[in-house]
Structure 1
């Protein structure tokens, strides 16, 4: 995929309902509203404490919530943006993902990254180490996850899509090229364009078609400002975010849904 070649994939919209500064009842209602609004994917996050606002504010655990969302919803895909590889044994995580895949009738995305929030590590007794070592551990975990899926009974309902988050050019992007179905990158248009090119190069080294990897990013501005530029880079999945402090305001999300329907020819 050339960084300047628009993808032929349908454009999709996700929303990260950050599980901070809210009651679980608030989150449950937000999930219902997001599905009714027409989002394609509902994400949470994998952190043990709020990342913004009061540090001691309410927050809920990731995978318990994903299992509940899988049961609660009927159409949207569900995922974390992103699961921290450090917090769970890879074989256990594979089994958890397979189980949520079945609960949801095949609507789970396993989004995963190397981890970065030191407070989580320190408070829950995980070794933080170095960024390089955490990425190495992710590289060791990914084949174990895939192998465990092949052994489980019953097997997953589908080939569970793997999303890898992060943009490290020497270690993370090679893992994306080898294992990911979706790459979630960060940065402005120029940064995403450059990293797209690097990822395409790693795909070429592996003999993999770069078009197999969907390109994803987070957005905090309107589609009028970013939409066409992202599509020109081949980005076909954008994710907005909100939390309990906003009352899970889906205003920006709905703007992107309208843009999605327009560019996909459905609106």
Structure 2
């Protein structure tokens, strides 16, 4: 299965002292022509002032679902630890309906210890968090099958991470999209391991869309485009740039959208 090239932006909900700045960034991103607008699921900034302005992601996705009309939306990625899987399934179903079928459920095992400590979640270990993710994914799928009304369609599940023993196995079992933060050579090796996991469960690895970060605004546009070309040649079709507040500089996205149109012909 050949997926068309798509461009995503991760509008990081940090360092924006007013939500209006994020609302404006979503509007500009859709106007530029991006395909997917992501935020992230943290409670504190990941860089810059560690106690700077920050907003919660899922309530924001409900607002984006009403504000936007074309782009897909989602978190890159939801932390599995922060919500009961059945509740998360219901939240995703609800945003799916509000957006008329444009939600991507991005999910990962979690890693940012400050979030856990400040909000009272058990941090556990990397292994225990991955085990929890493995238990949550079928529970989410089971809850979707029970909800009334049902989701508008099969909500695509994006799984973030590149762990060879667990995460890539979960992608093979449950993922529609695999997201990673890998350089080309490492991506190629991990993709081969994903193919092995797919073979073990009788799945064609080409049915999984590949997603990765194309760069950050600190990178030059030429560097972002070179990396996008190299990743697309390896089969990556969803390329995302992360952008932080308060200004949300989207200039790399305009260049990537033009590049996308050329690649897709």
Which residue of 64, 79, 83 maps to 1:84? Answer: 79
8 Å contact 2:10–2:242 — kept in the other structure? yes
Q: CA deviation at 1:223?
A: 4.5
Aligned equivalent of 2:90: 95
8 Å contact 1:81–1:111 — kept in the other structure? yes
Question: Does residue 1:230 correspond to 2:224, yes or no?
Answer: no
RMSD of the TM alignment (CA)?
0.9
Q: CA deviation at 1:255?
A: 1.2
Q: CA deviation at 1:240?
A: 0.3
8 Å contact 1:223–1:255 — kept in the other structure? no
Which contiguous aligned blocks of 4+ residues in structure 1 show a shift greater than 6 angstroms?
none
Q: Cα deviations across residues 91-136 of structure 1 (Å, max 9, x unaligned)?
A: 0000000000000000000000000000000000000010000000
Aligned equivalent of 2:257: 257
8 Å contact 2:228–2:239 — kept in the other structure? no
Q: Cα deviations across residues 25-66 of structure 1 (Å, max 9, x unaligned)?
A: 000000000000000000000000000100111000010000
Q: 1:68 to 1:224 in 2, by over 3 A?
A: closer
8 Å contact 1:181–1:212 — kept in the other structure? yes
Aligned equivalent of 1:141: 136
Distance (Å, rounded) in 1 between the aligned partners of 2:186 and 2:80: 25
Aligned equivalent of 1:16: 10
Question: Does residue 1:241 correspond to 2:242, yes or no?
Answer: yes
8 Å contact 1:223–1:259 — kept in the other structure? no
Question: Does residue 1:200 correspond to 2:195, yes or no?
Answer: yes
Question: Does residue 1:216 correspond to 2:217, yes or no?
Answer: no
Q: Cα deviations across residues 136-172 of structure 1 (Å, max 9, x unaligned)?
A: 0000000000000000000000100000000000111
Count of residues in correspondence between the two structures: 258
8 Å contact 1:16–1:241 — kept in the other structure? yes
Aligned equivalent of 1:104: 99
Distance (Å, rounded) in 1 between the aligned partners of 2:131 and 2:225: 39
Q: Which has the higher contact order (CA 8 A, sep 6+)?
A: 1
Which residue of 26, 35, 38 maps to 1:40? Answer: 35
Residue aligned with 1:109, SS: strand
Q: What's the TM-score once normalised by structure 2's chain length?
A: 0.96
Q: CA deviation at 1:224?
A: 3.5
Aligned equivalent of 2:25: 30
Aligned equivalent of 1:116: 111
Structure 1 residue runs of 5 or longer lacking an equivalent are 1-6
